[in-house]
Amino acid sequence: MQSLKPFTPLIAAAVLAAGGTLLARAAQEAPALAPRPALTVAVTQPERTPMHKRLAANGNVAAWQEASIGAEVSGLRLAEVRVNVGDVVRAGQVLAVFADDTVRADAAQARAGLLEARAAAAEAQANADRAAALSATGAMSQQQIQQYATAAQTAQARVAAAQAALDAQELRLKHTRVLAPDAGVISARTATVGAVMGAGTELFRMVRRARLEWRAEVTSADLPRLRAGGKALVTAASGAQVEGRVRMLAPTVDPQTRNALVYVDLPAHSDIRAGMFARGEFLLGAHEALSVPLSAVVVRDGFSYVFEVDAQGRVAMRRVQTGQRSGGRVEITEGLSLEARIVQQGGAFLNDGDLVRTAAGGSEQKQAPGQSRQAPPATK
């Protein structure tokens, strides 16, 4: 064993040299390996789709009209309250009732006074008729005859006054029943059973016909773009979204803010109430535009890019200008042609010049405008 020690380094060197020669020969004989794709992606093409022009605005939800329902009689006790806040009422429905004992007694007294006046008027008219019949005989002077005629007219006037007094008491009796002036929803109530109300005291507040409106604020520069009858998509703070219609534009502009109000009628919705804040968009019409799926656009360093795929499967990062968004698609205003093949999803994991594999299934086929395309997730 000791005799082999001087030859050990030489043997090791010979082995290494032989191994290197074999590896070099294998490398020369083996074919070149193809580069591996970075991702498997779905490929799509831009489409011409209708895009709606929109104008965003903020505002408050308010009642279309609010009715104040008050007491029309004074000095009477409130005997009954039949509605509460949130109740839906119809026109003419009884909301509250006042105690009417005193009014009924006054009406009975006025009715008796009317009967008395009618009796006195009948007697005075009979005297006037007899006096007129005796005027030709000379039994009564013309002055006496005129006095009887005047007494008859005075009695008739007293009848009219008694009738007016009775009508007033019957009107007071009618006002002891508080009626809804229109259909709607009770939004506030101050009426309390047992309270003695004065004339004009508010008992209830009502949202007429349960109609709400969105009062949106827009700048004076944007006001000419809107028209009565236009559509608006309104999203309340609760998340509920409804489609409203522009009812009218304010005739004046606030001189402090230079903003104007736009009144938008809203349909009934259980999650939208008066006093809520709401944001929305006015739909100003549609135009055809070049668009791509939102997932195809990658934002880097504040700029928007898409990855275009060439025939060899390599991607090129193209900077584009984006416009409006609608239905999961975004408008491309500059930087892309209609024939381009772009990565539909997964561009965030790619770099310029990367090699990709196109997913099987023909995801790049054209689809009708407005149809959404579900792209398979990008995989490493």
Across the range 131-146, mean pLDDT stands at 84
The C-alpha atoms of residue 215 and residue 277 are separated, in whole angstroms, by 10
Q: Residues 80, 167: one domain?
A: no
How many C-alpha atoms does 62 have within 13 Å on its Cβ side?
11
Q: Residues 139, 262: one domain?
A: no
The C-alpha atoms of residue 196 and residue 193 are separated, in whole angstroms, by 9
In sequence order, what are the beta bridge partners of 68?
205
Q: What is the CATH number of the domain that holds 332?
A: 2.40.420.20
Q: Residues 128, 158: one domain?
A: yes
Hey, what are 116's tokens? 């008395």
Q: Residues 127, 159: one domain?
A: yes
25: in domain: no
Average pLDDT, the chain: 86
Q: Residues 95, 183: one domain?
A: yes
Across 260-294, b (16+ Cβ under 10 Å) vs e yields: bbbbbebeeeeebbeebebebbbbbeeeebbbbbe
Residue 25: predicted pLDDT: 57
Across the range 295-313, mean pLDDT stands at 92
pLDDT at 3 over 60: no
Q: How many CB atoms lie within 10 A of CB 1?
A: 4
317: in domain: yes
Contact 343, 296 (CB under 8 A): yes
257: left (phi over 0), alpha (psi -120 to 50) or beta: alpha
Q: Residues 92, 182: one domain?
A: yes
pLDDT at 149 over 60: yes
Q: What is the CATH number of the domain that holds 90?
A: 2.40.50.100
Choosing from 286, 306, 325, the residue where a domain stops is 286
Name the pLDDT band for 14 (thresholds 50, 70, 90): low
Name the pLDDT band for 291 (thresholds 50, 70, 90): very high
pLDDT, greater one: 35 or 330: 330
Across the range 313-328, mean pLDDT stands at 89
Residue 156, exposed/middle/buried by CB under 10 A (0-12, 13-18, 19+)? middle
Q: How many angstroms separate the most distant Cα atoms in the chain?
A: 189
pLDDT, greater one: 380 or 113: 113
Contact 98, 79 (CB under 8 A): yes
High-pLDDT (> 90) share of the chain, %? 66
Q: Residues 217, 282: one domain?
A: yes
pLDDT at 364 over 50: no
Name the pLDDT band for 316 (thresholds 50, 70, 90): very high
24: in domain: no
Which amino acid appears at position 25 of this protein? R
33: in domain: no
Q: Quote the distance between the C-alpha of residue 92 and its chain's center.
A: 29
Per DSSP bridges, beta strands 315-326 and 329-334 are antiparallel
Q: Residues 282, 348: one domain?
A: no
Q: Residues 44, 138: one domain?
A: no
Across the range 305-321, mean pLDDT stands at 92
Shortest CA distance to 370 belongs to which of 56, 52, 55?
52
20: in domain: no
Residue 361: predicted pLDDT: 47
Q: Residues 88, 204: one domain?
A: yes
Residue 356, exposed/middle/buried by CB under 10 A (0-12, 13-18, 19+)? buried
The C-alpha atoms of residue 27 and residue 255 are separated, in whole angstroms, by 83
Q: What is the CATH number of the domain that holds 114?
A: 1.10.287
Tokens 């559509």 sit on residue: 231
Which amino acid appears at position 223 of this protein? L
Per DSSP bridges, beta strands 43-44 and 342-343 are antiparallel
Lowest mean pLDDT among 77-86, 216-225, 344-353: 344-353
Hey, what are 174's tokens? 């009618």
Hey, what are 26's tokens? 């294998």
Across the range 92-113, mean pLDDT stands at 96
Residue 7, exposed/middle/buried by CB under 10 A (0-12, 13-18, 19+)? exposed
**CA dihedral sign, ordered 303, 374, 292, 361:** positive
Q: What is the CATH number of the domain that holds 242?
A: 2.40.30.170
Please count the structural domains in the chain.
4
What's the pTM?
A: 0.62
pLDDT, greater one: 46 or 287: 46
Q: Residues 43, 60: one domain?
A: no
Q: Residues 271, 302: one domain?
A: no
Contact 294, 328 (CB under 8 A): yes
Residues 338-351: pLDDT tens digits?
899 999 988 888 99
379: in domain: no
For residue 77, the enclosing domain spans: 73-99+176-209
What are the backbone angles phi and psi of residue 8, rounded to the nearest 5°?
A: -60, -50
Residues 37-56: pLDDT tens digits?
878 889 999 999 888 788 99
Across the range 91-104, mean pLDDT stands at 96
Q: Radius of gyration over alpha carbons of the chain, in Å?
A: 46
Angle, helix 142-175 to helix 101-133, in steps of 10 degrees: 160
What are the backbone angles phi and psi of residue 336, rounded to the nearest 5°?
A: -150, 140
Residue 214: predicted pLDDT: 96
pLDDT at 220 over 60: yes
Across the range 227-246, mean pLDDT stands at 93
pLDDT at 18 over 60: no
pLDDT at 10 over 90: no
The C-alpha atoms of residue 65 and residue 184 are separated, in whole angstroms, by 10
SS3 9: helix
